[in-house]
């Protein structure tokens, strides 16, 4: 999977596995910023700039990941508003985006990332595959 697409793009669909593979590192990148952004460190301009840059990246990547998961669930990106609500947001993210499976087959946001609902292989493809698998070495 393309990391640039996963973390920066709002297009397409993303399966649960990939959502967690990218969401956990994004969360881990944000933790040091929250730990070191204390009132004692507020006077350090370099730390302030670095914190802003990291938080902008984390925010953008989180929204991009969530939108692609919403698309996989065949929901509009407008559902992202629920993720910012206290109490409801974290539950929505864990259940809707992290646990529930995406819609099988293609939907209005693209092809199924798991390949379900793909058209059956043509007879030419089947005969080609059968020729390759029919060889027996003795």
Q: What is the pLDDT of residues 113-138, one digit of tens each?
A: 998 886 656 666 555 554 455 455 55
Backbone angles phi, psi at 110, to 5 degrees: 140, -175
Residue from 77, 94, 89, 76 nearest 23 by CA? 94
pLDDT digits 0-9 by tens, 30-57:
998 888 877 777 777 888 888 899 999 9
pTM > 0.75: yes
Helices (H), 15-133: 16-36, 45-72, 88-92, 123-133
105 or 131, which is more confident: 105
C-alpha dist (Å) from residue 6 to 14, 82, 91, 127 = 8, 21, 22, 36
Q: List the Cα angle 13/51/77 in 5-degree steps.
A: 20
């Amino acid at each position: 999977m393309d990391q640039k697409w996963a973390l920066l793009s709002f297009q397409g669909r993303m399966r649960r596995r990939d959502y967690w593979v990218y969401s956990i590192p994004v969360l881990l990148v944000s933790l040091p910023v929250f730990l070191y952004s204390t009132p004692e460190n507020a006077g350090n301009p370099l730390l302030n700039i670095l914190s802003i840059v990291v938080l902008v990246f984390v925010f953008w990547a989180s929204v991009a990941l969530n939108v692609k998961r919403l698309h996989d669930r065949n929901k509009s990106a407008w559902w992202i508003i629920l993720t910012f609500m206290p109490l409801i947001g974290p539950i929505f993210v864990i259940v809707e985006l992290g646990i529930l499976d995406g819609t099988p087959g293609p939907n209005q946001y693209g092809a199924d990332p798991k390949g379900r609902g793909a058209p059956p292989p043509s007879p030419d493809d089947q005969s080609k595959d059968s020729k390759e698998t029919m060889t027996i070495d003795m």
